[in-house]
């Protein structure tokens, strides 16, 4: 076991997997960082530090700095995957999914089904998401619900360095397109990471806490916020089952339903607006499949139906927080 942060876990996994599998290539904007400049390639080595050193080790055929062209980046990944390679495309910000959406939505996601199961499309699209750093309406969004809704895509959101390694390895070994979400506020989160080969199957949630009084389901950074609320509530003797989904497609429905059958109370935390959200999806799952277990209406903790604002106070008001999660837990416990 080595201790490292999520950024390092992703970087090391890419290095190790590219060494293992010569079919893996990575492409994206500034992932080499310095091409065509006096400083030379690798002058910067990637904006996020998750691709540093790859170009030097694997060369320009496998590590491709692209112009600013998200449609072409994602489309090229789709094509390379159809042609038998294992591309890893990087979107500098998940918001830029908007630019490349057709290549994900109408193309990559549907190839296998449209072609009668004859093909596979093992492309990984890594993208940096999340609010909390005042990056405003076009650089802060958590677009996982949109992609979770699309049949054919798998959606992954690691919250620990070990999960980052295990889930990225799984993505690179699998044969389906995977949307790999990296929260910009979680890159520095440290933890132990298993040595050697380490895979985490998709569709298996992580039980972060077992407390028994209320079920809290979250993903991404909202797991950390929920943990803070859990600490506060634990001091008062309130126990939380905290479920980190890890993947929203496929989703570990059993973990959610099993827990709610015990607690009878559900709080879902989702870093996105409420309409057609993950929160709404899970509330519906529990309402339809565990109705008789419920002792209180499901609580959804989400942002408002609004874009993400720039101003610090407005952004704070927009985002779910440990306090709003705590409030939702108290409401559901108080329901009679």
Ligand X SMILES: Cc1ncc(C[n+]2csc(CCOP(=O)(O)OP(=O)(O)O)c2C)c(N)n1
Identify what 196 binds: other proteins, ligand X, none; CB under 5 to 8 Å per kind: none
Identify what 185 binds: ligand X, other proteins, none; CB under 5 to 8 Å per kind: none
Q: Which helix (H) or strand (E) holds 324?
A: helix 322-334
Residues in the chain: 336
How far is 43 from 48, CA to CA, in rounded Å? 13
Binding residues with other proteins: total (CB under 8 A): 44
How far is 299 from 265, CA to CA, in rounded Å? 9
Among 49, 53, 98, 174, binds other proteins (CB under 8 A): 98
Identify what 207 binds: other proteins, ligand X, none; CB under 5 to 8 Å per kind: none
Tokens of 189: 């989160």
How far is 301 from 299, CA to CA, in rounded Å? 7
Identify what 79 binds: other proteins, ligand X, none; CB under 5 to 8 Å per kind: none
Among 44, 99, 234, 257, binds ligand X (CB under 6 A): 99
In the residue annotation, 139 being an active-site residue is answered as: yes
How far is 100 from 72, CA to CA, in rounded Å? 8
Is residue 275 involved in binding other proteins (CB under 8 A)?
no
Looking at beta carbons only, is 309 or 327 nearer to other proteins?
A: 309
How far is 296 from 266, CA to CA, in rounded Å? 8
Is residue 68 involved in binding ligand X (CB under 6 A)?
yes
Is residue 57 involved in binding other proteins (CB under 8 A)?
no
Looking at beta carbons only, is 58 or 93 nearer to ligand X?
A: 93
Among 35, 50, 142, 263, binds other proteins (CB under 8 A): 35
Q: Interacting stretch for ligand X, rule CB under 6 A, among 92-100, 144-152, 176-184, 264-272?
A: 92-100
Looking at beta carbons only, is 65 or 244 nearer to other proteins?
A: 65
- Among the listed residues 140, 60, 136, the one whose alpha carbon sits nearest the alpha carbon of residue 94: 140
Listed in sequence order, the residues at least 6 apart from 179 whose beta carbon sits closer than 8 Å to its beta carbon are 104, 125, 127, 144, 147, 153, 154, 155, 156
Tell me whether the omega of the peptide bond preceding residue 155 falls within 30 degrees of 0, making it cis. Answer: no
SS3 state at 267: strand
How far is 205 from 219, CA to CA, in rounded Å? 10
Stretch 103-142: interaction string toward other proteins, x if CB under 8 A? ------------------------------xxxxxxx---
CB distance 97 to 147 below 8 Å: yes
Tokens 């106070």 map to which residue? 313
Is residue 335 involved in binding other proteins (CB under 8 A)?
no
Among 113, 115, 310, 335, binds other proteins (CB under 8 A): 310
**Smallest distance, other proteins to C-beta of residue 97, A:** 11
Q: What is the DSSP letter of 308?
A: P
The residues of the shown chain that bind ligand X, judged by CB under 6 A, are 29, 68, 70, 92, 96, 99
The residues of the shown chain that bind other proteins, judged by CB under 8 A, are 29-30, 33-40, 43-44, 47, 65, 67-72, 95-96, 98-99, 133-139, 304-307, 309-314, 316-318
Catalytic positions, please? 139
């Amino acid at each position: 076991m080595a201790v490292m942060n999520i950024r390092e876990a992703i970087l090391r996994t890419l290095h190790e997997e590219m060494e293992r599998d010569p079919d893996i290539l990575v492409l994206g904007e500034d992932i080499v960082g310095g091409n065509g400049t006096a400083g030379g390639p690798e002058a910067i080595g990637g904006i996020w530090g998750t691709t540093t050193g790859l170009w030097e080790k694997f060369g320009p055929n496998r590590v491709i700095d692209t112009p600013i062209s998200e449609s072409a980046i994602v489309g090229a990944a789709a094509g390379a995957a159809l042609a038998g390679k294992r591309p890893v495309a990087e979107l500098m910000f998940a918001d830029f999914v908007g630019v490349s959406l057709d290549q994900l939505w109408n193309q990559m996601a549907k190839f296998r089904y449209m072609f009668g199961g004859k093909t596979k499309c093992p492309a990984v699209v890594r993208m940096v998401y999340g609010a909390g750093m005042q990056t405003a309406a076009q650089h802060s969004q958590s677009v996982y619900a949109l992609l979770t809704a699309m049949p054919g895509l798998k959606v992954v959101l690691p919250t620990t360095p070990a999960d980052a390694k295990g889930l990225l390895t799984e993505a690179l070994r699998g044969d389906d397109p995977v949307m790999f979400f990296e929260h910009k506020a979680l890159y520095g989160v440290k933890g132990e990471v298993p040595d050697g080969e380490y895979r985490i199957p998709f569709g298996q949630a992580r039980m972060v806490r077992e407390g028994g009084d209320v079920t809290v389901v979250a993903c991404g950074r909202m797991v950390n916020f929920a943990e803070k609320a859990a600490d506060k509530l634990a001091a008062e003797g309130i126990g939380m089952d905290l479920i980190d989904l890890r993947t929203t497609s496929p989703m570990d429905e059993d973990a959610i339903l099993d827990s709610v059958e015990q607690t009878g109370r559900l709080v879902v935390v989702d870093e996105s607006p409420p309409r057609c959200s993950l929160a709404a999806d899970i509330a519906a799952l529990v309402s339809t499949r565990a109705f008789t277990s419920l002792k209180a209406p499901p609580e959804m903790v989400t942002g408002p139906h609004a874009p993400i604002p720039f101003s610090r106070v407005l952004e704070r008001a927009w985002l779910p927080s440990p306090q709003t999660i705590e409030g939702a837990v108290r409401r559901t416990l108080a329901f009679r």
